[in-house]
Chains A and B, each alone.
Chain A
Amino acid sequence: MPDQAFDGVFEKAGATAGTTPGSGAVPAVRVEGLWKRFGQQIAVNGIDLVLPAGKFIGLVGPNGAGKTTTLSMITGLLRPDQGRILVAGHDVWADPESVAQVKARIGILPEGLRLFERLSGRELLAYSGRLRGLPGAEVDKRASQLLDVLDLTGSQNKLVVDYSTGMRKKIGLAAALLHNPEVLFLDEPFEGVDPVSAQTIRGVLERYTQSGATVVFSSHVMELVESLCDWVAVMAAGRIRAQGTLAEVRGDRPSLQAAFLELVGASGRETAGESLDWLGGGAGSAGTSGASGSAGASGASGGTQR
């Protein structure tokens, strides 16, 4: 059957959910001892991760932390060097039967990979749904609704190559949702997206998680993660620095941003105020270092507060 029944998964008694508070079900994703090395560089350094089902999960970390590599390995797009990954209880890298179970249950919006851009938005959805074995009429019905909800109906016959960044993310999201997956993996879904499209994407994702599905998305915009997610994993330099509910990860710090900077070891670094003391202050002469230095510092710290 093309339609996945969400409930079936949640009803299973989960025996492995030791670290998932508030949920007795099989975790959406379970990662054990995952390694990936590119030449000399270790991209993912033996991580263990348990992401509970039915949550809005944020995977956060600075650029180069290994978020995309991790998500690629979890979704079957990149072969790990070592480690085991279970998605909804099925091994991603085991026998074809298990892989088929995983692939039918997940939807992906990767970052940095192309779509079939010489198709129009509607054609892309029609193609993607039929590849997944959904009946044609059903694909077309769902595609129309998704295009409508994501505000793409006006551009449905335009080639994806002519889409803006926000429209690309939205059509990618539509393709990822078309087969009604249990777990949705989104790599930087809000990167380069304008506020209007971001709000649309957000609305769709919130509705989707309310139905009991899981969303895992990577981001480095802490405000967004803080307002959307109820579960967070922090990654830096190929390792998981913290994982748990938003409250657990934040601890007694004022914001997720503060917690994040502390976890990745960047909170001690102050702005380079003194070395740029000529900057700002109007006249452009070199003698006003005091005023311009403080202006630079306050400007930079403004970013941390929201």
Chain B
Amino acid sequence: MSTNATALSPSASPSSTPPSPVPSLTSVFVRLKLSLLKNGLRQSGGRTAAYIASIVLGVLFAAAMVLSSVLLRGSADADTIAVLLTGVVALSWAVMPLFVPTGDETLDPSRLVMLPLRPRPLVRALLVASLVGIGPVLTLCLAFGAAVSVAHGAAGTVVAVLAVPLVTVVCVALSRAVVAANIRLLTSRKGRDLALLSGLVIAVGMQLVNFGAQRLGQAGGLGPLEPAAAVVGWLPPAAAIGAVDAASTGDYAVAAARLLLTAATLVALVYWWQRSLVKLMVEPDGSTIGASSDKGVREKSGGTGLLGRMLPVGRTGATMERTLRYIWRDPKTKAAWVTSLAMGLIVPLFNAFQGTGSIYWACFASGMLGVQMYNQFGQDTSAFWMVAQTISTTADAYAELRARALALLSVTLPFTALVTVATAAVLGDWSALPEALGLSFGLLGALLGSGAVASAVFPYSIPQDSGYKNVVPGQGGLAWMSILGGMIGSMLLCAPLIGATVYLHLSDQQSLLWIVLPAGVVYGALLVQAGLKLAAPRTARRLPEILTAVSKG
């Protein structure tokens, strides 16, 4: 507090001369924001295209939203949709900055800490500058659409005119306040790890939304959402849209209360934001605090824990232990695994629950998990040099790859069996369990085998800084070719197994279908073995090339 309170404003330094025309802080920040936006356009080819595409998409999206709200006007569900939509928009404003690292430099108070700025004008300037941008404009369009869909009559219009800008400003202030309060978390390593896991939240969340939407479609109508809308209608900023609705139906007291509630929230948010900012500017950087505070947390015995004692000795055990630890500790690997595990479980089971499933959906689990064998060395990043240093013969490379395959199998094998059994249980289709298990294991083996070969032949870097980019520019084709080719190849490799199953079904020899289980196990094991044998000499020969390929991220 003290540094900011005692700081001089820029115009105060030449005391004798009349104050020169120093532009106001707000206009400086708005101009800074505009030039940042403009510079976004001046970047190299691909990014400019992406930037323009995002603007065009945004405009189209906004236009579509406004149009659909106009169409929605007068419909029975208009109020429910408008209020809930505003709630979702506000929620995403609050949550998104925690997951998506924004390129907005005006957001970062550490850049402003050396400037002589007072908190109150600073917050005002930052708030106004925050309103410049694609996001706020989109939000304004959405709020406008929501208000249009529910506003009727003069009172409704008057409240809507107040509510639309209020919603936008509250959303922006909410987002900024949340970021300022959490900046310590966001700049620490734990926070960055958390951000990397966001892909997972989105992937699983989308599945749940998808199934939720299907449920609503089956229920026919938005009836189940009405109680939710009644609650959200009192939560700012959706309360402002609720106020428009209330005013339109003549409920003026409720409208005034909701509008006042939203305005009060805005004041509270700005106050909270200002307090966090002031605190941030006089307290030390969060990155060092985060690193030192968890010093005493990890006080278990390192080296060889329980895991280490259970695994074989030597290279196999060491590599397996490291691979398994990385599944848990490395945010990127963890996100990939948890997504695969969740999707591998959700897709077959939900399909089964909805009665549309078949037990063969269980193969989806082994498909999702087997892909984890692809680009093994890329998952190491440039730390692969430590592995490369200890590989000189084909036998070394074989041991390394086999250990990685074993580590994967120790998770995927029981999980695949579990998903298949669970799917069979939900469907009550126990007779098909052996063949489904056999096919799953066969596919898993094919993916692990081809994944080992692809790891050796098509390694590529996985960027570590972003939760969304899984390939560095220039290696995208390689990554797609590797995974897509591997998937198709694995399907082809499994063709004999699938063919045998189909044949036994068609020739009415159901009593012999149990054979698919042992056949799948043996065939899968053979494929893994063959893949490792093929991959080992290629890995041993290409160590420097693999290291170069995986060190770009």
Cβ 8 A contact of B383, one of A99, A116, A126: A116
Also in contact, A127 and B383, with CB within 8 A (given A79-B545, A133-B314, A162-B291): no
Interface hits, B89-118 → A, CB 8 Å: none
Residues of A within 8 A of B308 (CB): 126
Residues of A within 8 A of B385 (CB): 77, 108, 110, 113
Contact B329 A118 (CB under 8 A): yes
B393 at the interface (CB under 8 A from A): yes
Interface hits, A30-82 → B, CB 8 Å: 75-79
B543 at the interface (CB under 8 A from A): yes
Contact B386 A131 (CB under 8 A): yes
Cβ 8 A contact of A122, one of B299, B302, B318, B391: B302
Please, how many angstroms separate the alpha-carbon atoms of A96 and B391 in the complex?
9
Nearest chain B residue, comparing its CB with the CB of A78: B544
Contact B302 A157 (CB under 8 A): yes
B295 at the interface (CB under 8 A from A): yes
Contact A159 B298 (CB under 8 A): yes
Contact A127 B298 (CB under 8 A): no
Contact-size category for B: 35 or more
Please, how many angstroms separate the alpha-carbon atoms of A114 and B3 in the complex?
40
Interface hits, A125-148 → B, CB 8 Å: 125-128, 130-133, 136, 140, 143
Over the window 299-327 of chain B, the binary record of Cβ atoms lying under 8 Å from chain A Cβ atoms (1 yes, 0 no) is 11111100010000111011101100110
Nearest chain B residue, comparing its CB with the CB of A122: B302
Cβ 8 A contact of B315, one of A78, A133, A157: A133
Nearest CB on B from A108, distance (A) = 6
Contact A140 B298 (CB under 8 A): no
A120 at the interface (CB under 8 A from B): yes
B382 at the interface (CB under 8 A from A): yes
A228 at the interface (CB under 8 A from B): no
Contact B382 A103 (CB under 8 A): no
Number of A-B contacts (CB under 8 A): 109
Which one of B300, B380, B383 has the highest number of Cβ atoms from chain A below 10 Å of its Cβ?
Answer: B383
Residues of A within 8 A of B551 (CB): 113
Residues of B within 8 A of A140 (CB): 303-304
B249 at the interface (CB under 8 A from A): no
Nearest CB on B from A167, distance (A) = 11
Also in contact, A77 and B544, with CB within 8 A (given A103-B392, A128-B386, A157-B302): yes
Interface hits, B506-548 → A, CB 8 Å: 540, 543-545, 547-548
A272 at the interface (CB under 8 A from B): no
Interface hits, B372-403 → A, CB 8 Å: 380-383, 385-394
Residues of A within 8 A of B303 (CB): 122-123, 125-126, 140, 143
Residues of A within 8 A of B318 (CB): 126-127, 130-131
Please, how many angstroms separate the alpha-carbon atoms of A200 and B343 in the complex?
50
Please, how many angstroms separate the alpha-carbon atoms of A126 and B393 in the complex?
22
Nearest CB on A from B13, distance (A) = 13
Please, how many angstroms separate the alpha-carbon atoms of A133 and B391 in the complex?
11
B73 at the interface (CB under 8 A from A): no
Cβ 8 A contact of A115, one of B291, B298, B321, B386: B386
Nearest chain A residue, comparing its CB with the CB of B314: A130
Also in contact, A116 and B545, with CB within 8 A (given A96-B540, A140-B303, A157-B299): no
Q: Give the interface of B toward A (CB within 8 A).
A: 189, 291, 294-295, 298-304, 308, 313-315, 317-319, 321-322, 325-326, 329-330, 380-383, 385-394, 540, 543-545, 547-548, 551
Contact sample, A vs B, 28 pairs, CB 8 Å cutoff? A76-B389, A76-B543, A77-B547, A78-B548, A79-B545, A96-B540, A99-B392, A102-B392, A103-B392, A108-B385, A110-B385, A113-B551, A114-B382, A115-B386, A116-B322, A116-B380, A118-B325, A118-B329, A119-B322, A121-B302, A123-B325, A130-B317, A131-B386, A140-B304, A157-B299, A157-B302, A158-B295, A158-B298
